[in-house]
Structure 1
Amino acid sequence: MRKTNYLDGSWNFGIDPKNKGESESWYTGSIPNAISVEVPHIWQREGDQFVSYNGAAWYERQVKIENLSRHHDYYLCFGAVDYSCRVWWNGQFIGEHEGGFTPFEFNIPSTLIKDDNQLSIRVYDYEANAEIPIGKQGSWYTRVSGIWQSVKLEVRAKTFISNVFVTPNIDQDSLEISSFVTGEINESTSINFVIKGHSLRDEQWGDKESISGTLEMVETTLPIFQEANNLTHFKTILHVQDMKRWSPETPYLYEIEVTVESKGKVDSYQTTFGYRKVEQKNGRIYLNNEPIYIRGALDQAFYPDTIYAVPSVEYIQKELQAAKDMGFNLLRKHIKAELPVYLYWADRLGMLIWAEPPNYVKWTATAQKRFVKLLNEMMIRDYNHPSIIIWSIYNEEWGLEWDLEFDVEKQDHVAKLFDEVKRWDTTRLYCDNSGWTHVKTDINDHHRYFALPEQIKEWEYDLDEYVIGQRERNFVTGYQSNGEPLLISEFGMWGLPSIEKLRNYYKGKEPWWFVNQGDGTHQDDYKKPTTALVNHSKFGIREALGDLENLAVSSQKRMFRGVKSLIEEMRKRPQIAGYVVTEFTDIEWETNGWLDFMREPKEEFNRLVDFNGPICVIADISNRNLWSGESTNFDIVVVNDLAHLREVTIKWEFVDANQQPYEKLNGEIHFNMNDETYWKTEDGIYITVPAVSNSEFAQLKLVLISCGHVVASNVEEFTFTNKHAFQKLDSTVYVHHLPQEFSNQLVNHDIEVTSELEKDVIVVTDHLDGEILTHIHTGGHAIFLAEAGDHLEGNGHYPFRKLPPGESWPRASSMNYINTEWFNGVPFHPEVGWEGSELFPDYVIPFADYKKDGTKRTINMFGSPRLAEESNVLAGYFQGWLGQNGGSIVHHRDGKGSVLIITWKLINQYGKHPIATQLLNKLIMKVKGESIYEN
């Protein structure tokens, strides 16, 4: 049996910025100016100069060996060191390694082993890292350097087991067990195994019975071993008819111990495995021959203190349980080689894993070789984890320089590598290029970022016409879809965290990453937390959203509303096989996590399971802003991932903002699911909106009941408005350059419209020509309906910025906000929710410089912060950390008068849309008020 001496703990550490330590033989003595650190160690954790340091650094410690044996070999084993290292034992060089994510080991010559030993390690992390696998550390977030996983010294027999692979085949009721042995093999060498139950979730589990047997030597190796020098392969195929299958619901985990005995010395190797099968067919992913719908989250596994290293086993357990409580059944470990201990607990607690190797950046032969080697090492290391059901090869062409669609050489590389990894491990699914153009793949996945509610129509169109309707468009020319499962494997929205909580967590200080630690591609203003500290008092943000803590609450409510709708639209479409939301937790400046960086839930996220659980009840709503007396109907969709629902009842009711039910606005729907996974009513709910006093928020509450138990619930947002309760306006309006239908609607709503441009009238126009500008300069007031933005012929020198249309990662970080106090009486959320549907602006007045994508190049455009200083911003827009600012309702003093510019879509909605009607009425009512000039 192996004896193990764990070397984690206190080490001496020092940086070597002149790279002179080796020439000065630091490995024979002590490290100059060393500090004491705890290994596993990431030197960026030390703060100050270490955060941005790259280059050489040294680690050193003493290793005491008790009961020294000359009949065994000593192996120095590393979990991972980033990036390269050279190792000395008692002043003698024993080996070097390149690669920052996978384990390696050195056999220490017996002549160097003493009772007391010195271990010295030189680590080098390269500043120029485009040709090495790095993932997102150092490119998006804080860099990772050092001995960041555990170190141990193992005492082994001369003949020992290097690895064990267990391959289940549930269709044949069998297991293939392969073991690879290092060292001398002779006729007396025997290889035996014992299998027994290991665990079920967090409880130990074991049948009284165990399975034992013998492995036989074979001449062949496994395809996953690119190099199997000095390894002898032993193998058996075992019949296991009654073995329990591993699944997220019942994660039965088995353990196997393989023992080799040679020349009287014994070595053993233990690992765990699960008995399960993964495949794709009929547009679905199947687990154990049953379809499974993927409800996943992207998990980049960065931590607020320990960066890349998980703080503790308890931390892992809590995190995985939180994911399950939120309804997830899969985590996509995004371009990071996850820690083996994390994968073990994913196996044990029943969380599916989508694994993915860290990317390189520059397309060179050297980079490709390093990448393929890393991928192979990860797949060898993680072969026995049943939780891993999918491997990505590339993500979004990172390393392929973003031209896979046009580069045949890269297409050939991806196709061949896909075939190769399928040969290495036949038990899993593979995605060739996650999210972007595919060549060969088991998963036809997409990365699609939209901001809802603003882009609801675009999101629906994208799903129906592109993702579902044109599967082949997601493949390069010459390759085609073969009916692979459709997944949206990235999407999501931002919800800013509490800065106060962050400061408290970091003991009253702002964390180092408030200064963005990413490379030059991530230095936009909205990606910098410091921007929020500067801009919070500008652009009407504080007036609309309150202090930074209230702003965070509004941002998180917007995020909840948005991801709820994004997911519900996918779940309404049974052609989609699952999704992976971006993302599980916040990471430094990127705040689209469902948990914040400290792993605490965000606002309203106790309701995530409503739409992210295995059973969901969803209302298919086309219009959420209704007039009293208006009748409408909508369908109800029930999604059932557990496939055990039969007789069910949906109870529904409408309640007001105080949770008081509306009279006669309730009902029940009874039906039989017959264990189907998808069910949709036709005109399931029909209502006539009751009379309300003015205009108010309302909610539809849905409850799904089966066998007397509530199995799902949901809440949907509405507004109800009394068309006849509008306050009559004293102002007279002059309509200029607008359709007659618009004037008619004003008249229909008791607004006096004149054909004479007189001093006291309020101009409503989409065209600021000379006549109107003169009226303003001499003391008149105008409401400028500027929804057409850049297409306006008369813009009065006001600039406009078109917001990113369609799929847009930056826009998914954005928020439209409004000063609800100024629009008192109109049902608005500060972060503008579904009450803004059909009205959200396509343009804003830019207050910050921005970039516009042209056909041949990106164009730098200029914002006008001075205009914001001269005006009262009543509604606006920002991205991320309050950057890329713009105004959508801006009252600007001009001469002796004023212009109230609004880019919301009101021209065709006034009189028809309850909120549009109230919004313009409020502007007409207050445009002359002196209070509007106050900032």
Structure 2
Amino acid sequence: MKTHVRGRWLLAAGSASVLLLSVGSSASASSFPGLASVTPQPAPVIQAADGWHAGIPPIATPWTGKVTPSNALPEYPRPQMTRSRWQNLNGVWEFGKAAVGEAVPAGKTLGERVLVPYPIESALSGIQRHEDRMWYRRTFTVPAGWKVGSGNRLQLHFGAVDYDAKVFVNGAQVTTHRGGYDGFDVDVTGALTASGPQELIVWAEDLTDATGQPIGKQRRSSDHGIFYQGSSGIWRTVWMEPVPAASITSLQLTPSVSGGNLKIKVNTAGGTGLSVRAVARGGGSVVGAADTLLTLPMPHARLWSPDNPYLYDLSVDLLGGGKTIDAVGSYFGMREIGTAPGADGKLRITLNGKILFNMANLDQGFWPDGLYTAPTDDALKWDLEQDKAMGFNAVRKHIKVEPDRWYYWADKLGLMVWQDMPAANTGPIPLDWRAQFESELHEMVREHQSWTSIVAWVPFNEGWGEWSRDDTGRIATEVKAQDPSRLVNAHSGVNCCNSHGDSGAGDVIDFHQYLGPASPAPSGNRIAIDGEHGGFGLKTSNHMWFGDGQAYEMEPDSPTLTSKYVANQEAVITSATYCGISAAIYTQITDVEAELNGFFTYDRQVAKMDLRKVRAINQKIIKTADGSGANVPQPPAGTPGLTGIAFWPLDGSYGTLKPVGDAPFVAGHSGQAVALNGGYLDAGSPVLNTASDYSAAAWVKLDKADGAFQTIISQDGPTNSDFYLQYSGADQRFAMSFAGVRALAPAKPEVGRWYHLVGVRDTVKGELRLYVDGQPAGTASACMPQAAPTGNTVIGRGKYGGNQVDFLDGTVDQVHLYDRALTADEIAQLYSSGQ
């Protein structure tokens, strides 16, 4: 991501000086590895006069008007396994709504026209509405030179159909398929007529979020929040090609930099006793049995990296009876993903044996004109070019699987990809859908295991669809067994939302924090990453899907937005230095519908930040976060004894505290105490130095313990409290917390019972600790250094997002504050003393 790709400097709306990349046209196929042998043949075209008209999207991209019936994604769709003869079946098809149990409309003209492969809800499809069930129909002619039936077979390929599909050729059902993100193919030779037009009909059903199927962020109707318009039916290229009776079906390519070789498996069908010959241009070659794992030597290989994304051409021949019976072109990059300790001893991500921080952009893969399908190949590439130009070296493909050409461009441009499995709905996947989810996950890995750019698999996001922590761990372990060559991130955002907690499986500990960044620390055998952070937003008139929207924090103008981004990314360096995170993922490349937190508007027409400054800070992160770590200074000894630097017995007197609102004295744990329900006590100044170690202790009795947060002791910061000794309503447990980080007690407290709580901030160990009734109760990694205090210490409320929040509904007594981290023995003594 360090090179500038076809860039030019422009002045965008709002007078922000930004870097944009020209749309331009694709380079020729022959200029790219693996595509030299491709000679695309245009599909037969049904003209617009036959009834197709594009819809009008709420906002349009620079490519919307370039889509016509004759050029609907005409590029060869499978860059890693190319053949010279093929025919694209994209274009205008007949379309009709399907009823349950309806007979196949063989020989019948359907009443509407749809442009394939754009999902039917999209403007580019021409339908622009959802249907639960649908028919597609067209005819095709097999080119005479293909000699199908005299040794050749005709393969029909579908890039993806969402969600259930049945395929009919000349009225005969030839295959069915379930799954919206994986491709499928079928040999249709036996269903062909002797000559002339052949009828092709596809039935599709997509109930989206009404079932337990994997859907990513699709919903039948947008919630104007973080979920978006669904995409039903055919949404990737449909095409066909002749193949020999014995043919190559797929390639499995696994580079080993440390081993100096490429592991290759050539999968075949239709023959026995076949052999293969694989030759890497500029590298080695190997001959061996088909359908077995072979080793192709690659000594002194030129390595692939974001700075130098070098790809090798690969030719593969299938041999039988002493001659070549099938041949395909491909390519690969020599790169190896791993982990190693940095100079500070913390485990980090390596590329080709060297520590490399993954600075990634979150990519949802939605388009205002094509929804799940980019309008053109140039558009598909453009987003990735922007990532590169902005100084990112990685992309998180967020709960969506893209067409193969997206991964080809990531390979070609030099972007490391963290690939999510599309989630089901946010609740637990129903029991009868769990096997399907796992099947689609493993199929995603199988179909994408040869892409150079993919460095990690992510089965779950924020607990969406997760049904048990043990099964999450099992699934991650199974994915790792399927593909040991990549990292497995069992659960992105394991600290968030619907998560069942850390399974301990996989290679990664991943926290989300908005605005963040998150700051988990690696364990002995797992690296740590910030899986999502940021989300700063800006409204851009005439470039918003709904005419309005929101983000995690809205900014008034482009300079402020840029400044917020740069400051937030500086904190990423701190998190990498102090905590040892190996990657950070910012939200996000573009606005999507009502989410306005993109670098670009949803229509890709306006850049919202000064992208020169974006590039500079991103490159600084990659260069600086090199695993050298930080020397954490030893804090001063602090004030000895168990009284502390502040002690408020609250025994009939507020002492130096000022009551705000209702704060009466009542019977306490020892003598009297203060009852709070909307009121609080204010110390009038910051008592604790939050830049060093500290501890806070109090007796508390809750009047309620429900889903609302309640803060016992905190200290105001500029936006959020510096810390919270609290009852966490989200977890229904006591906690010692920072915003986004909680050291939690193991069980829910009882209402009406006195508890002794102590929260400890330990800067040397980089953690928060919670003690309940004199015993250790919870620990959380909190390695980020804190700033000097800016606000008052308060008892009975917190501060979040600039607002006073989380008022205590209960009684507090015997409050102590310490300018050091109390030991476990001291805390036990304090509890025993009753004070």
Question: Aligned match of 1:258 in 291, 300, 316?
Answer: 316
The one of 254, 260, 267 equivalent to 2:326 is: 267
Cα distance, 1:613 vs structure 2? 1.4
Amino acid at match of 2:337: V
Query: Who is 1:5 aligned against?
Result: 87
> In the alignment, what sits opposite 1:382?
448
Correspondence for 1:30:
109
Aligned partner of 2:405 among 338, 341, 345: 341
- Aligned residue among 166, 169, 174 for 1:94: 174
Give 1:585 deviation, angstroms: 2.2
Aligned partners of 1:105, 1:328: CA distance in 2, in Å? 36
Say if 2:118 and 2:234, in contact at 8 Å, map to a contact too.
Answer: yes
For 2:720 and 2:189, the matched residues in 1 are separated by: 71
Q: Give the Cα separation in 2 of the matches to 1:803 and 1:295.
A: 35
1:194 aligned to which of 279, 293, 300: 279
**Correspondence 1:312 to 2:382:** no
CA deviation string 1:87-119 (max 9, x = no partner):
111122211111111110111133524321111
Please say if 1:151 is aligned against 2:238: yes
For 1:290 and 1:92, the matched residues in 2 are separated by: 56
Matched, 1:415 2:473: yes
Matched with 1:734 is none
**Compared CA separation, residues 272 and 129, structure 1 to 2 (3 A):** farther
CA change 1:190–1:363 in 2 (3 A) is closer
Does the residue aligned with 2:136 lie in a helix, a strand or coil?
strand
- The separation in 2 between residues aligned to 1:908 and 1:358, in whole angstroms, is 44
CA distance in 1, matches of 2:400, 2:457: 12
Give how far 1:157 is off.
Answer: 0.5
User: 2:356 aligns to what?
Assistant: 292
Post-superposition Cα deviations, 1:184-234, rounded to whole Å, max 9, x if no partner, equal: 225xx44222211xxxxxxxxxxxx464432225xxxxxxxxxxxxxxx14
C-alpha distance in 2, partners of 1:439/1:350? 32
Q: What SS does structure 2 have at the residue aligned with 1:381?
A: helix
* Displacement of 1:61: 1.1
Q: Does 1:491 align with 2:475?
A: no
Distance 2:657 2:263 in 1: 76
CA contact (8 A) 1:494 1:556 kept: yes
Aligned residue number for residue 198 of structure 2: 117
Distance 1:318 1:134 in 2: 25
TM-superposed deviation, 1:50: 6.0
Pair 1:577-2:582 in alignment: yes
2:725 counterpart residue number: none
- For 1:363-762, list aligned pairs within 5 A: 363-401=429-467, 404=469, 411=470, 413-436=471-494, 437-451=501-515, 463=519, 467-468=520-521, 481-502=523-544, 511=545, 529=548, 551=556, 553=558, 556=561, 559-560=564-565, 563-573=568-578, 575-599=580-604, 600-614=606-620, 640=624, 677=628
Q: Deviations over 1:235-289 (max 9, x none)?
A: 4223221221111111111122211144667212222211111112321111111
RMSD between aligned alpha carbons? 3.9
Task: Give the direction of change, closer, same or farther, for the CA distance of 1:110–1:11 in structure 2 (3 Å limit).
Answer: same
Aligned residue runs from structure 1 range 870-885, under 5 A? none
Are residue 132 (structure 1) and residue 213 (structure 2) matched? yes
Distance 1:573 1:84, change over 3 A: same
How does the TM-score come out when normalised to structure 1?
0.55
CA distance change for structure 1 residues 852 and 284 in 2, over 3 Å: closer, same or farther?
Answer: closer
Matched, 1:15 2:100: no
1:867-926 CA-partner distances (Å, limit 9, x unpaired): xxxxxxxxxxxxxxxxxxxxxxxxxxxxxxxxxxxxxx98789xxxxxxxxxxxxxxxxx
Alignment of 1:851-870 (within 5 A): 855=732
* Structure 2 Cα separation of the partners of residues 380 and 168 of structure 1: 16
CA contact (8 A) 1:194 1:257 kept: yes
Question: Which amino acid in 1 is paired with 2:420?
Answer: E
**Paired residues of 2:537 and 2:550 also in contact (CA < 8 A):** no
Given that residues 95 and 137 in structure 2 are in contact (C-alpha distance below 8 angstroms), is that contact kept between their aligned partners in structure 1? yes
Say yes or no: does 1:216 pair with 2:216.
no
Please state how far the C-alpha of 1:421 moved relative to its aligned partner.
1.6
Structure 1 residue 63 and structure 2 residue 140: aligned?
yes
Residue 26 of structure 1 aligns to a residue in which SS? coil
User: Hey, what's the Cα distance between the residues in 1 that align with 2:503 and 2:632?
Assistant: 39
Contact 1:330/1:353 (8 A) holds in 2: yes
Aligned residues: 569
> For residue 640 of structure 1, what is the amino acid of its counterpart?
T
Cα distance between partner residues in 1 of 2:542 and 2:488: 42
CA contact (8 A) 1:194 1:211 kept: yes
2:444 match: secondary structure: helix
Structure 1 Cα separation of the partners of residues 570 and 262 of structure 2: 44
1:793-829: CA deviation from partner (whole Å, max 9, x where unpaired): 99xxxxxxx99899xxxxxxxxxxxxxxxxxxxxxxx
Q: Give, in whole Å, the separation in 1 of the partners of 2:475 and 2:420.
A: 14
Equivalences for residues 754-903 of structure 1 within 5 A? 790-791=678-679, 838-840=717-719, 855=732
Contact 2:209 2:215 in 1 (8 A): no
Going from structure 1 to structure 2, the CA distance change for 1:906 and 1:63 (only over 3 Å counts) comes to same
Q: TM-score with structure 2 length normalisation?
A: 0.61
Q: 1:216 to 1:360 in 2, by over 3 A?
A: same
Tell me whether 1:354 sits opposite 2:438 in the alignment.
Answer: no
Residue 888 of structure 1: aligned partner: none
Contact 1:54/1:127 (8 A) holds in 2:
no
Residues in 2 aligned to 1:443 and 1:791: alpha-carbon distance in whole angstroms: 46
Amino acid at match of 2:613: R
In 2: Cα distance, 1:169 partner to 1:433 partner: 26
1-10 or 278-287: which moved more?
A: 1-10
Contact 1:567/1:611 (8 A) holds in 2: no
> Is the Cα–Cα contact under 8 Å of residues 83 and 98 in structure 1 kept in the other structure?
yes
In structure 1, distance between residues paired with 2:630 and 2:189 = 68
- Rounded Cα–Cα distance in structure 1 between residues aligned with 2:204 and 2:717: 57
Distance 1:791 1:254, change over 3 A: same
Q: Is the 8 A contact 2:418 2:455 kept in 1?
A: yes
Shift of 1:78: 0.4
Match of 2:161? 81
Residues 1:166 and 2:253 aligned together: yes
Aligned-pair distance for 1:28? 2.8
**Letter of the 2:297 counterpart:** H
Q: What's the secondary structure of 1:609's corresponding residue?
A: helix
Whole-angstrom distance in 2 between the partners of 1:415 and 1:530: 37
Give the Å deviation of 1:63. 0.4
Tell whether the 8 Å contact from 1:63 to 1:119 is kept in structure 2 after alignment: yes
- Tell me how far 1:6 sits from its aligned partner: 0.9
Query: Whose helix proportion is higher, 1 or 2?
Result: 1
- Separation of aligned partners in 2, 1:174 and 1:853: 50
1:173/1:129 Cα in 2 relative to 1: closer, same or farther (>3 Å)?
Answer: same
Q: Which amino acid aligns with 2:398?
A: H
Q: 1:680 to 1:422 in 2, by over 3 A?
A: closer
Unaligned 5+ runs, structure 2: 1-82, 221-226, 342-346, 495-500, 634-652, 664-675, 683-706, 722-727, 734-789, 795-835
Alpha-carbon distance, 1:177 to partner: 1.7
1: CA distance, partners of 2:481 / 2:596:
38
